[in-house]
Amino acid sequence: MKTFNATRPRLYLLLTGVLLVAGCGGGSEPEQAAEQTGQDSVGQARPVSVRVTAVEPRTLQSWVYSQGTARSRQREFLTFTQQGTVSYVDPELRVGSPVKKGQLIAHQAPDRVQAELQAARAALAEAEANLALAEVTRRRYETLIEQRSASRQELDQAVVQVEQAKAIRDNSKAQLAQSQLTVDESRLVSPIDGVLARLNVEQGRYFNPSVVQTNTEQNALRTVPALVIDPDRFEVRVDLPSYVYRQIAVGSRAVIGDTPPRDGQGMDPLQREQQVLGKVHAVSPSLDPETRTFEVIVHTEGDNPRLQDGEFVAVWIARPPENEVLSVPLEALRYRNDQSFVLVLNEDTGRVSERRIELGQQAGAYRAVTEGLEQGELVVTDGRAALNDGQPVRVLDADGAQP
């Protein structure tokens, strides 16, 4: 009887599958080696896909960065000079309420100071009446002297009485001015059109001027009876390092916001609503001996700058622009041993060569080149990380296709 070996067909099928896998694998060994080494089957370097950009002259605008506190350019601290009970606070006013110039905010008990003011006015009126009578008397004696009906001594006495009446009149004027000042100091009146930023008094409470502390900004804001600010005009004071002193001038452009202008030149449309334009108003000629910095005052431009009094902000101040200087994008630069390099494309050979360059001012996404490149040369931007000096490249257009 003939037996059947069931393992032979299975072994045959297994060997056939192994041969098929070997014949249909992911490429020959030379091809796999080429992929790993960047070379083709005959040992030549394979082209690398890159993007290039031409070296062109640009106007580069760089910015100096600092931080400071935004303050209203007109801030009026209002306080009482005499101690006393606050008898009135405008019930319609709240912190943040608009106020007009001359608007009464609060006052202390007015009866006493008003009585003193009325008394001073009455005394002035009496003094002016006495002066008028003295002058009439003097003129009468001058007429009598001409008619030889009065003595010279009587005329001299009339002249003295006029001078005495003038002195009393002048003293009464001073007393009236003092009384009016006392009335004014018992009233908190807004000196400007603005916004009520602080209100630290209440009707019926006793106020003593000694509680007002001006040694720090924080204490003044906490203890002063009222603060009125102009909400439309602000300034920012910043400290800059001494080495940029000659690059900052009165009238220089400034941007107040978290991010600098796009590419170091124009305002980013997406950020424009979050940024405030300004100009350098003043530059201090002296340095702080401890920090070696100098102060710069920036004024905002236009109305409604969308700033808060006391807000901590970032400030970007424009340096003088460099016009028509050769520049390259930042993504074209390579660094090694504190030196800068770019990969320059030779269009005739289709290869790149590494070239050392000297860099100048940076502005946004570009850096000035002071030495090592000429206008119109092509430098690699995308793909430079995989390149070596002398390697062939395949240039792609902006869409990733070969032109």
148 with 248, same domain: the answer is: no
Strand, coil or helix: 401: coil
Residue 10 located in a structural domain: no
Question: What's the order of all strands across the beta sheet hosting 226-229?
Answer: 75-78, 226-229, 194-199, 98-99
* Averaged pLDDT of the chain: 82
CB neighbours (10 Å) of residue 311?
14
138 with 168, same domain: the answer is: yes
CB neighbours (10 Å) of residue 128?
16
**Which pLDDT score, from 0 to 100, does residue 383 have?**
77
Global pTM value: 0.63
**Closest by CA position to 63, among listed 312, 319, 373, 237:** 319
On the question of pLDDT at 18 being above 50, the answer is: no
**Which pLDDT score, from 0 to 100, does residue 40 have?**
53
pLDDT band for 105, please (50, 70, 90 cuts).
very high
- The CA angle 134-140-141, to the nearest 5 degrees, is 90
Q: Which of 75-79, 107-111, 211-215 has the lowest mean pLDDT?
A: 107-111
Angle between helices 111-146 and 152-185 (to 10 degrees): 160
346 with 200, same domain: the answer is: no
Strand, coil or helix: 255: strand
Of 101-105, 183-187, 257-261, which one has max mean pLDDT? Answer: 101-105
Choose one of 286, 312, 338: the last residue of a domain: 312
Residue type, 43: G
On the question of pLDDT at 15 being above 50, the answer is: no
On the question of pLDDT at 21 being above 60, the answer is: no
81 with 119, same domain: the answer is: no
Residue 343 located in a structural domain: yes
Question: Is residue 102 left, alpha or beta, with left meaning phi > 0 and alpha meaning psi from -120 to 50?
Answer: left
Q: For residues 298 and 279, is the Cβ–Cβ distance under 8 A?
A: yes
252 with 307, same domain: the answer is: yes
**Which pLDDT score, from 0 to 100, does residue 261 have?**
63
Rounded (10°) CA dihedral 19, 20, 25, 28: 50
Residue type, 233: R
Q: Average of pLDDT values for 232-257?
A: 93
pLDDT band for 391, please (50, 70, 90 cuts).
confident
pLDDT band for 260, please (50, 70, 90 cuts).
low
pLDDT digits (tens, 9 = 90+) for 55-81: 999 888 888 999 999 999 999 999 998
**Which pLDDT score, from 0 to 100, does residue 398 have?**
46
Residue 307's Cβ-count burial label (10 Å; 0-12, 13-18, 19+) is buried
pLDDT band for 152, please (50, 70, 90 cuts).
confident
Residue 207 located in a structural domain: yes
The upper half-sphere exposure of residue 233, i.e. CA atoms within 13 Å in the direction of its Cβ, equals 9
Choose one of 312, 339, 367: the last residue of a domain: 312
On the question of pLDDT at 35 being above 80, the answer is: no
240 with 288, same domain: the answer is: yes
pLDDT digits (tens, 9 = 90+) for 322-362: 888 899 998 899 898 889 999 999 988 889 999 999 988 88
User: Cα separation of 288 and 291, whole Å?
Assistant: 6
- The more confidently predicted of residues 19 and 380 is 380
On the question of pLDDT at 268 being above 50, the answer is: no
User: Cα separation of 246 and 127, whole Å?
Assistant: 64
Question: Is residue 347 left, alpha or beta, with left meaning phi > 0 and alpha meaning psi from -120 to 50?
Answer: alpha
- How many domains in the chain? 4
Q: For residues 242 and 298, is the Cβ–Cβ distance under 8 A?
A: no
**Which pLDDT score, from 0 to 100, does residue 271 have?**
47
Q: What percent of the chain has pLDDT over 90?
A: 45
238 with 129, same domain: the answer is: no
Q: Average of pLDDT values for 152-174?
A: 90
90 with 234, same domain: the answer is: no
Q: Which of 22-36, 235-249, 314-328 has the lowest mean pLDDT?
A: 22-36
On the question of pLDDT at 27 being above 70, the answer is: no
**Which pLDDT score, from 0 to 100, does residue 201 have?**
92
Could you list the residue range(s) of the whole structural domain that residue 147 is in?
111-185
CB neighbours (10 Å) of residue 202?
10
pLDDT band for 400, please (50, 70, 90 cuts).
very low
Inter-CA distances, 163 with 131, 139, 158, 334, Å: 8, 14, 9, 93
Inter-CA distances, 361 with 247, 257, 266, 332, Å: 13, 22, 17, 15
295 with 366, same domain: the answer is: no
